[in-house]
Amino acid sequence: MITVKSAAEVALMARAAAIVVEALREARRLILPGNNTAAVDRAIKKTIEDAGGRPAFLGYMGFPASSCISLNAEVVHGIPSPERVIKEGDLVSMDVGVELEGYYGDAAFTVAVGDDAPALLACGRRCLSEAIARCRAGNRLGDVSNAIEKTARDAGFDVIREYVGHGIGTKMHEEPQVPNFGPPGRGPRLVPGIALALEPMVVNGDWRTTVSGDKWTVVTRDGGPSAHFEHTVIITDDEPRVLTRGWEEFA
């Protein structure tokens, strides 16, 4: 069942989302050649806890860290580790979720380490902004999904099929699932108070994935690079409200 959030609930989600953005800001500062991803994760955990939140990923289905940090052909769910050292030229995807007083926020971005930002990153951001633009009362969920797929394909890229965005609120993952592909004009109708974590995952190459030996990290089968961008968004009577707005300025 898709739940509709009250104004009070949205206010709590906004507080959780603000902590997500602060944690991502701290992470971005540390995405430098020579730093390892466990150090980035520690800084994220500290930022979240200092703000009174709880890292939502930590312990989720046994996940061992406070963030997912996925490099290059890794799509999502990369596990931070001291052995995983960031190098010049890497694509680094950062995904952070926070729970505060029973409400959740969730956001992600991908950056290139070094000067050479591939077109894939600009495309992923555009997929997200096009999806947000479709988050209007009266539209169907398929309109959002289709905007992501069309934007990616028009740029010569593709989208991951096996992992999707989701509803969010009192749980990190609520209904509905939000695929990054599919026909417009289908699916549930959007009404004010629906909260969605939109998360286009775009690839330069084939969309098929596999899960690596650590049982978590999702990688492209063909080794092609992947980028992931996510916002927590509320449907309103008017413009969509992006609760995790802010990372665009520093990512």
Note the residues at the interface with Mg ion (CB under 5 A): 106, 197, 199
Nearest distance in Å: CB 128, Mg ion = 12
Nearest distance in Å: CB 82, Mg ion = 25
Nearest distance in Å: CB 203, Mg ion = 17
* Residue labelled with tokens 């695929």: 179
**Residue 106 or residue 158: which is nearer to Mg ion going by CB?**
106
Nearest distance in Å: CB 215, Mg ion = 19
**Residue 100 or residue 197: which is nearer to Mg ion going by CB?**
197
**Residue 18 or residue 197: which is nearer to Mg ion going by CB?**
197
**Residue 104 or residue 157: which is nearer to Mg ion going by CB?**
104
**Residue 44 or residue 197: which is nearer to Mg ion going by CB?**
197
Measure the CA–CA gap between 94 and 126, rounded to whole angstroms.
17
Amino acid code (one letter) for 241: R
Nearest distance in Å: CB 199, Mg ion = 5
Measure the CA–CA gap between 245 and 21, rounded to whole angstroms.
8
Q: Which two tokens stand for residue 171?
A: 């749980």
Measure the CA–CA gap between 96 and 155, rounded to whole angstroms.
27
**Residue 21 or residue 113: which is nearer to Mg ion going by CB?**
21
Q: Which two tokens stand for residue 55?
A: 């890292």
Measure the CA–CA gap between 135 and 121, rounded to whole angstroms.
22
Q: Which residues pair with 178 in a beta bridge?
A: 165
Nearest distance in Å: CB 114, Mg ion = 27
**Residue 157 or residue 163: which is nearer to Mg ion going by CB?**
163
Measure the CA–CA gap between 132 and 234, rounded to whole angstroms.
9
Nearest distance in Å: CB 235, Mg ion = 17
Measure the CA–CA gap between 42 and 64, rounded to whole angstroms.
12
